[in-house]
Amino acid sequence: MIEKFRKEKDSLGEKDVSMYAYYGIQTARAMENFPISGILPKKQFITATAMVKRAAAIANMATGSLKRRIGSAIVRAADEIIQGRLHGEFVVDVYQAGAGTSHNMNANEVIANRAIEILDGKKGDYKVVHPNDHVNMSQSTNDTVPTSMRIAALFLTSRLLIELKSMEKALAAKAKEFDSVIKSARTHLQDAVPIRLGQEFKAYAETISKAIKRIENAADGLKELGLGATAAGTGINTHPAYRKYVIKALKDITGIKDLRPADDMLEAINSMADFVNMSAALRGLAIELIRIANDLRLLSSGPRTGFAEIILPPVQPGSSIMPGKVNPVMAEMLNMVCFQVIGNDLTIAMASQAGQLELNVMMPVINYNLLQSLEILKNAVKAFTERCVKGIKPDRIRCKEMAEKSVGLATVLNPFIGYEKAAAVVKEAVARGKTIREIVLEKGILSKKEIDKILDPMAMTRPRNIRGKNKVS
């Protein structure tokens, strides 16, 4: 196909733009200026931007500021983008002009040119529908971009929460399944008191439950919108009723019914605190997921030379040289994703403190890193739950063997023989390679009946009344 061009003009001069492109001159300039990463905006951000533009057109028609013929065409064009069309026309690198002006103009130009077509005009004829005068009416990059960021983040957060709740449910199910499996706990990576494998998994489920609550709390802050603030929080160039209409329209379009206008419009566009809070909640989740993944890697280590107390589902061969080797690849994947999320959080923190006066111009990098964190966590949690957690099995024999060998069993003897005598039993058991039970019986410290009752596996993993049984001399 022979490339054809149309000539477009902006305040800097003229430029050729492909006849087939829906974007215009400002987008073309951005493509030349920012050949940085090759990373383009995420579909959720494109969709959220189109939703904001649709809401603005509806509000402007409601106030009488925008002719219905033009406004209706803008709404139709935005609808097509919301439905997934024309996403290939959003071509500006994520590392771009401060505040996201290039992305905003990319959206304005694509919607304008599609609206022009809907009105039977030719792309580039901005007398029909103008990117700034019509599509961007009552708006500024400074309020539309952070609003689009919030909506996109809320969409992805809802999906992440679904996957986290599925993980919590899967871990809780394993907790019940493993409740009768007695094993040795470990503190400082050394033998500790007996514990049920189910108790470990119940704690993991509770960890995820708390992380969900923190993310839900952070998400609530993202529902406060500065839309209508325009350039510097004053609402310049907007109708007095615009703000009311645009928030209502955005609620209807997004389905997020508890969106609300910010109390202070300037604060809403110059503070990135809500994004920092969400990123911090994701960092907290990542830290907990790393801990859980590392525990599972340790507990499944082996199968002959490690802990080998649980068996992770084998999902692929683990070595190109060692036959039959199977690695904990799903846990390794989860670790790597979480490391990335923690790095993203630092970027978001540095960018969020870099705002000056009435605007934070670092919004594009905040947006990219937050949306990446949400998306990769969503995908990683889903894969880890389905391909690892749900298939975990205990090695009951190994768990029992390790529990019986643990010198941590001596802790249970404290109320009956005293700490010092119990410590002597541990020392001898370790020196002679014997179990605590064997040393106690051999030395005649307790009878078989007494030691059997004291070392009852299930009783050792919960509180119990020991009054009247202290035999310390």
**Catalytic site positions:** 319
Question: Ramachandran region of residue 267, left (φ > 0), alpha (ψ -120 to 50) or beta?
Answer: alpha
| Selection from 112, 146, 105, 110 nearest residue 129 by Cα | 112
Cβ–Cβ under 8 Å, residues 273 and 226:
no
What backbone torsions phi and psi does residue 84 show, to the nearest 5 degrees?
A: 110, 0
| Selection from 324, 322, 332, 269 nearest residue 297 by Cα | 332
Structure token pair of residue 466: 């020991």
How far CA 104 is from CA of 27, 31, 48, 144, 333, in Å, comes to 9, 14, 12, 8, 35
Per-residue buried b or exposed e for 91-107, using 16+ beta carbons within 10 Å of the residue's own CB: bbbbebbebbbbbbbbb
| Selection from 325, 328, 458, 310 nearest residue 397 by Cα | 310
Structure token pair of residue 144: 């539309």
Q: How many CA atoms lie within 13 A of 182 on its CB side?
A: 17
Instruction: Outline where 300-418 has alpha helix (H).
Output: 329-352, 363-387, 396-405, 414-417
263 CB-contact burial (10 Å; exposed 0-12 / middle 13-18 / buried 19+) = exposed
Cβ–Cβ under 8 Å, residues 349 and 279:
yes
